Structure 1
């Protein structure tokens, strides 16, 4: 049995990725920050389908807590999966933030940097000794980092996601000595709890936004989760160092 670590799997894209990986037969160690109920829902849904999952709390912005988290992961690997290593890492956890350039605050800049770039960087570094040779990593980025989706107010967020794209390529190069593949996935606008649950609070924006998608609708978590599961699985065995936009042709 493969074992996957999926961060931010209490809802949205992370939850979908965890469910699809479990459906493919992987055991899942998933993380949550504040939404414990959502994480336990993910675990319950995996167990209902005959799979195995464990939820652990992780603050992606607190790198000082990463060694203790690695120890927790090692304990779960031994105790639940009788393993010393895992096979698949999905760096999905993150959060939104927007401000026009002239209004950007240094404190918010630092918060976003910790969560969207520094966190995934050092979490991957911390977990790398537990990631088995021949494994796979997917970093969830955003098509806001791509030229055709440049929108005012997202200079910090998109720049950090762009940095994660570049980091993914360098990870792919360096990790290839161990046969570990690394790719990034760039979702377009997707109906999740992201941005303070913006879509649920403002459903009227969805029809207008849908007009910007070539395929005629806004993304759903499963549109992205299925691709993540494919990339870290056997079907993605010959794909590495790529940033794959999964957006239904947003602004095509």
Structure 2
């Protein structure tokens, strides 16, 4: 009997936080994972070990999504890893998760901060996806990550939310233009989540945590498992007809 070939996902920025949670959630649904990290090789290797412990297969590759000049080299290493580990030249799912958070009032946001945000959240997503298109299978999936802050507004996130808004528009265009290959492209927008993102401000600041919980229909702040599982479910075959959509996963924040 011929065994089904496992699907393979690339999750950028998956050495910690929501990216790590997404990688583990995918493995539980029988998807193998390429983990990427910018500087935390040890953390990335720990994720690979955790994936092996639950019966999956993974490799970790260094990737700086803020520097498009490194993408050609990354794609070469990525393609070699596909051949070495899975004996294939293609993969199924791309999750553009890598990102940073900068909290600064509009009047105090520097051009350096603005460029750093847009290089990672927009330019990196645009050109990394473009470079990887020859390796993505027809009928594959791409999930870009936005934020609830692209819908509602909180002081201090003008640049960050603007970048995420750009990703949401980009997602619709990608879905439109890649549809001829039956590649589905959606954008998932988490609400406030208890992680180390932006210095762990939501997780570690009781006042902020309580405020967000009071403004969320389900009465609490999100946790990583709320997001990783949602992404893994979105990539299931049952959701193959969802395309070009913004899906907010926030528990009903600021309704």
TM-score between both structures, scaled by the size of structure 1 = 0.96
The match for 1:77 among 76, 82, 86 is 82
What CA distance in whole angstroms lies between the structure 1 residues aligned with 2:12 and 2:251?
A: 24
The match for 2:250 among 230, 247, 251 is 247
Number of residue pairs matched? 250
Counterpart residue number, 2:136: 131
Deviation at 1:204, TM superposition (A): 4.8
What CA distance in whole angstroms lies between the structure 1 residues aligned with 2:197 and 2:206?
A: 13
- Write the mapping of 1:227-246 to structure 2, written as runs, cut at 5 A: 227-246=230-249
Gaps of 5+ in 1: none
What CA distance in whole angstroms lies between the structure 2 residues aligned with 1:203 and 1:123?
A: 37
Please state whether the residue corresponding to 1:95 is helix, strand or coil. coil
What CA distance in whole angstroms lies between the structure 1 residues aligned with 2:15 and 2:31?
A: 17
Counterpart residue number, 2:59: 54
Is 1:151–2:136 an aligned residue pair? no
What CA distance in whole angstroms lies between the structure 2 residues aligned with 1:115 and 1:87?
A: 22
Deviation at 1:201, TM superposition (A): 4.5
What CA distance in whole angstroms lies between the structure 2 residues aligned with 1:47 and 1:186?
A: 29
Counterpart residue number, 1:118: 123
Please state whether the residue corresponding to 2:229 is helix, strand or coil. helix
Which is further off, 170-179 or 198-207? 198-207
What CA distance in whole angstroms lies between the structure 2 residues aligned with 1:247 and 1:210?
A: 11
Counterpart residue number, 2:71: 66
- Write the mapping of 1:1-252 to structure 2, written as runs, cut at 5 A: 1-146=6-151, 149-252=152-255
Distance 1:200 1:246, change over 3 A: closer
RMSD across aligned positions (CA) = 1.2
TM-score between both structures, scaled by the size of structure 2 = 0.95
